[in-house]
Amino acid sequence: MHDVAKHDDSKGQYFWVWGALLVLTGIEVWLGYNQVFSDPKNMLEVLMILSIIKSALIIGYFMHLKFEKSIMRWMLVISVTACFVIMYFFFFPDADRVKPPPNGVGIGQKS
Amino acid sequence: MADATLQHNAAAAHAAAGEYEAPLFGAYSKKVGMWLFLASDSLTFGALLFAFSYNRIYTIPWPMPFHVASIINASIMTACLLSSSLTMVLAVFAAQRRDTAWTRNWLLATMIFGAAFIVLHGMEWSKLIDEGLYLPGFMSLLGVSPSHAGGEYADVSKNVPQFTQAFFGLTAMHMLHVTIGVIYLGVVAFRKWFLPILGVIWVAAAFLIPAGNVFHYTVHVLGIALVVCAIILFLKPKDYDAEDVEVSGLYWHFVDLVWMFIFPLVYLMSTKIV
């Protein structure tokens, strides 16, 4: 019988993680609905940071990666993160090259 | 003759060595396989999310079609997925202590949360389409007349098609993953008993969803899933054990994980302030 992610953790911590995820979601909704950051780029960055924290909780606890061998943990995290960093450098330096025209109408839209 | 015997012995020794070869990363092969699949699938969603973010920053002005009702709906959908992840963890615990009844119960709870997510998402889609947010090519392909051309969001569909394409592309891909996840859990929990259940849901949905609704056609994905599940269950029947439950859980948590990025990016970045 191979391992089935056996570890001496209690069920209680999963309820804490679930609660933390709900709280973080509530903060995101509050930030988004109140438009706390007027610049969409700043808003995007803050929401993505919160989402990365939530995803780390899900991957670490719910998907049990925290309890796997360190080589598996690092192989997966480094390879996927490296791909996302490459995507980031392809997309985002170019994303705001088009500045809004004075009348506020974007490219491809009717005035 | 001697050569043949030597070759046979060598092959037997090789097979024996392979049988006792240490598993990769100390994890069983199904789990490693699922992690590798999820790593590749995350790149698919990563590309879609980057494309949506790029559009969001690049397009000025960006449409803000999501009223408070949509945000509440999407928040409930998020809570459903987060709760489903918790019930999935409890199913894995139950499977590890070989408690078949509770494994099935927790898997069923996870499926119910997942199904609630799909229904809420479908209602949200239908509402937006009725208000004029649609993909013109997709609707005409299905033979559905866009009778809602004068809806609140008709201008968005005409003037900012990149919004509708990015929104429907990303959310449809995720909804498909959730649907596959619910079916996957159904197979693990109920095995062959799940086939008639899936068949009844497919037929009922096909008859009950009105012809003008986009899901009247896309619901036939369930029919395809029924055939695939039947092939798998009849060609390789087995009792799914704790390893299978844990691997299916990995897939389900991944679906939850992806939504943690879609929800703020798609909904919260396009909130309509009244």
B246 domain residue, yes or no: yes
At B16 the pLDDT is: 54
In order of B81, B129, B133, B141, B155, the CA distances from B151 in angstroms are 31, 9, 8, 20, 8
> Among B57, B64, B87, B256, which would you mutate to test the A interface (most chain A Cβ atoms within 10 Å of its Cβ)?
B57
More confidently predicted of B24 and A100: B24
pLDDT of B240: 86
Average of per-residue pLDDT across B200-215: 88
What is residue A44's predicted lDDT score, i.e. its pLDDT? 83
pLDDT per residue over B70-97, tens digit each? 899 999 999 999 999 999 999 999 999 9
Range of the domain at B129: 28-270
Same domain, A32 and A45: yes
Residue B178 falls inside a structural domain: yes
Residue environment code for B91-100, b if the CB has 16+ CB neighbours within 10 A, otherwise e: bbbbbbeeee
For residue A20, is it within any domain? yes
Question: Has residue A1 got a pLDDT over 50?
Answer: no
Is A22 part of any domain? Answer: yes
- pLDDT at site B150: 63
**Residue B270 forms contact with A (CB below 8 Å):** no
B261 domain-assigned: yes
Contact assessment for residue B270 and residue B69, using Cβ atoms and an 8 Å cutoff = no
Please check whether residue B148 lies inside any domain of the structure.
yes
Residues A10-57 pLDDT 10s: 788 999 999 999 999 999 999 988 888 877 778 888 999 999 999 999
Same domain for A19 and A40? yes
pLDDT confidence of residue B11: 53
Residues 6+ apart with CB under 8 A from B148: B129, B130, B131, B132, B134, B154
Percent share of chain B, pLDDT over 90: 51
Task: Output B93 or B215, whichever has higher pLDDT.
Answer: B93
Q: For residue A111, is pLDDT > 50?
A: no
In chain B, which residues have their Cβ closer than 8 Å to the Cβ of A15? 86
Mean pLDDT highest for which of A55-69, B54-68, B200-214, B247-261? Answer: B247-261
User: Domain check: are A42 and A85 in the same one?
Assistant: no
- Convert B179-234 into a string of H (helix), E (strand) and C (coil): HHHHHHHHHHHHHHHHHHHHHHHHHHHHHHCCCCCCHHHHCCHHHHHHHHHHHHHH
In this complex, do A40 and B82 lie within 8 Å of one another by their Cβ atoms?
A: no
pLDDT mean across residues, chain A:
80
Residue B163: inside a domain: yes
Q: Distance, in angstroms, between A15 CA and closest chain B CA?
A: 7
- Beta-carbon count within 10 A of B139 CB: 17
- Please name the amino acid found at residue B52: F
Residue B214 belongs to a domain: yes
- This prediction's pTM: 0.85
What's the whole-number mean pLDDT along residues B111-136? 89
- Residue that wins the pLDDT comparison between B129 and B11: B129
Whether B208 has a pLDDT exceeding 50, the answer reads yes
Residue B34 lies in a domain: yes
∠ CA B182-B236-B187, nearest 5°, is 15
CB within 8 Å of B270: residues ≥ 6 apart: B56, B62, B63, B64, B65, B66, B163
User: Is pLDDT of B144 > 70?
Assistant: no
Domain boundaries, position A72 = 68-94
User: What is the separation of C-alpha B188 from the centre of its chain, rounded to a whole number of angstroms?
Assistant: 16
Query: What is the 3-state composition of chain A as percent helix, strand, coil, each rounded to the nearest 5?
Result: 65, 0, 35
- What is the number of alpha carbons within 13 Å of residue B144 lying toward its C-beta? 22
Closest residue of A to B272, CA-based?
A33
Query: What ipTM was estimated for this complex?
Result: 0.83
Counted domains in chain A: 2
Count, residues in chain B: 274
φ/ψ of residue B271, rounded to 5: -80, 135
